[in-house]
Each structure stands twice: as C-alpha cells, then as structure tokens.
Structure 1
Amino acid sequence: MNRDEKAKIIQNIREKANRSCIAVVTDYKGMSVEEMTQLRSNLREHNVEYQVVKNTLARIAFEESSHSAIKDKFKDCCAIAYGFDDPVVAAKVLVDFEKKSKKFQTRFASLDGKYLEGTSLKALSELPGRDELLAKTLGTMNAVPTNFVCLFANVIRGMLNALNGIKEQKENA
C-alpha cells in the first residue's frame, strides 16, 4: 500500500469519526464471515457503520478527530463502529451482539469525545433510546393540558348535575 492509498484511508476514517457521535472499538478476532455479515447488516439498519482498520492508520486518523480520546488505545485486531444518529442504539446493537457471539467483544468507545470503558458502554446500552425518550417527554407534555381539560370538564359536569337537580326539584314541587 503506497502513501496515497494510506492518506485516503486515513482521511476516510477521520471523516467518519468527525461525523459520528459515538465510535466503538471492537475485537472481531476469530469471527466467521457469516457473523461479520450479520453484525454489519444489524448495524446498517440503525445507521451505524462498521469498519476494520489498521491500528497505525486509526491512530493517525483519530489524532485530529472529535474522538481523539481513544487514539492511543488501538491494539490487536480492531474494528470501529461509527454511530451517526443515536449513540444508545449503536451501543445496544453491539452489546446485544456481544451477548450472542462468543468471539465478538466491545473494548472501549468515545462518546462525543469522552472515553468510555466497556462497562460504561454496557451501561449506556441499558438507557432508553432517543425515540423512547422523545415519546416519554411528549407524553408528559401532553398530560398537563389533558389533565387541565379533564379538571374543567368535571367542574362543568358537576355544575350541570347541580342545575339538573334544581330543575327536577322545581318540576316536582
């Protein structure tokens, strides 16, 4: 591989790292092609890219990226998962695959430039995703006006019941 090819690879890695909100470094040693294909398709469904990298090229690329916290940690067989939308979803997919596979392992990650150990990544994967949090927030915001309307409807209903009672009393008298 000549210098130009290496420069293109470094630029590609740096570009993906700068666009991503999370970069997870994994160990894929011993995985079969079928397992890798399955992992990549699972990740692709959630807008996460998975790339096998050379350690030296990754170190150089991550030096000037938003995930420079992990630049010195690349050792052995490394592959990087870049999460572009929701970091929790990327972590969930990787941790779930790690539970199923005996050979796949998540090592560490960088979340918006902050270093995360493997245990922190597992804790991140247990959090609710962005869509779920938005739904809960919307439900909470919707509950206040709904309860307000129900409260006034009950006041009006009580008033109507009282007026109907007075009407019936006058009719009977």
Structure 2
Amino acid sequence: MNATTATDAPARAPRADKVAVVDEVRQRFDDAEAVLFTEYRGLDVGDLAALRGQLIEAGCRYKIYKNSLVRLAIESSAPDGALDLLFGPTALAFCGKDPSAAAKALRDFAAAHDALVIKGGVLGSALLDGAQVGELADLPSRDEVMAQILGALAAPLNSLASMMNSLLSEMPGLVQALIDRNSLDSNSVEGENNQ
C-alpha cells in the first residue's frame, strides 16, 4: 500500500499575482531613500486619500500590502528589526529624495488623526523607531537645505556685485580726476618749458 502524505505532495508554485506583488515591494524598497511604516486602523477611505495626496506632494508613495508579502520581499535585505514593524494593518510610505518631507507629512497628519500611528521606518540601511521618524520630520526639507545653500552661495556674489556697482558708479569721477590731473601736469610742464 502506497499512501501519500502531505509532505510527499509536490510543492504548489506561488501564484503569479503574489509573486508580482513581492517583486513590486522589493523594487520599491530598493528605489526608496526611506520607507516609513504606519498603522492606519481607524482611518476611513477619505482620510487615506487625503494622506496619500499629502504624501504625493512630499514625493512619497503610500501603499498597503499584506504583511506576509512584504516579509517575503524584504526578509533578506531589511535591517534587523524591520520585520517586527509588520504587525496589524500596515501601510508603507516609500520616500524619494526627501524623507524628511514625508516624515513631516505623516507627523502632521497623525497629529490631526489619532488613528494614524507611525511605527518606524528604514532609512538607507538603518532601522528607525517612531521617535526617530519624528526627529527625521524635524530636519529641514531638501528644498529648505537647497535654499540655505543657494543663499550662502549668493551672499558673496551679492557683495561682489555691490562692490562692482560702487566702482562703476565712481568710475566717471575717477576718470575725470585722472583727466584733470593729467591736464594739470601737462600745464605745469608747459609752464616750466615756457620759462
């Protein structure tokens, strides 16, 4: 008698749609500067839409995936402890070039909506807890840093431009003074020659 047990059965291939989601999540993690983990239990569809809009303005995508599929996608590359953030209804904010702007948007939204909980995140290869995401939100945004850099670069240029304007405005007087001096010198030389 040849009885087949559950362990003898051939392994079922993963469904194509789940494989596609795992690949998508893995790619989004690879492309993001930071990924922030939130719990959205208690937010209605309108609230989630408003939050997504604010995050899009901050250069961020906000997506909800099954925790089990996210685990599969990041288990080999996520920093230690990141998988522990995958409990309860979890949504992920995939941040582009300005993670601080996304963290600010989440913090501001959470302040107005108690149902949104910021669990933590991954910034580069570092794991952040909720408090550290708050600290990230306190950093100046990329645009603010760029404005500060441009201001610092522009200050010496403004001084140079001011100095050049001053010289140019004084130039006619300097030229006239040279002309007058040369004419006095030539008159005095002529006077000496005539004597």
TM-score, normalization by structure 1: 0.82
Q: Could you tell me which residue of structure 2 aligns to residue 86 of structure 1?
A: 98
Q: Which residue of 1 aligns with 2:72?
A: 60
Whether the 8 Å contact between 2:85 and 2:119 is mirrored in structure 1 is no
Q: Deviations over 1:37-70 (max 9, x none)?
A: 11112222333111112222111211244x4441
Measured after TM superposition, the shift of residue 99 of structure 1 is 0.6
SS at match of 2:88: coil
Name the CA distance, whole Å, in 2 between partners of 1:30 and 1:51: 16
Q: Does 2:19 correspond to 1:7? A: yes
Higher alpha-carbon Rg: 2
Is 1:23 aligned to 2:23, yes or no?
Answer: no
**Which 5+ residue runs of structure 1 have no aligned equivalent?**
168-173
SS of equivalent to 1:103? coil
Aligned identity (percent) is 27
Letter in 2 for 1:3: P
2: CA distance, partners of 1:156 / 1:132: 35
Match of 2:58 among 33, 46, 60: 46
* Residue in structure 2 matched with residue 171 of structure 1 by the alignment: none
Query: By how many angstroms is 1:104 displaced?
Result: 0.7
Q: Secondary structure at the match of 2:85?
A: coil
Distance 2:161 2:135 in 1: 40
Which letter does structure 2 place at the counterpart of 1:96? Answer: D
Moved more, 35-44 or 2-11: 2-11
Matched AA of 2:160: F
- For the 8 Å contact 1:20–1:84, the answer to whether it is kept is yes
SS in 2 for 1:14: helix
Give 1:94 deviation, angstroms. Answer: 0.7
Q: How many residues align?
A: 165
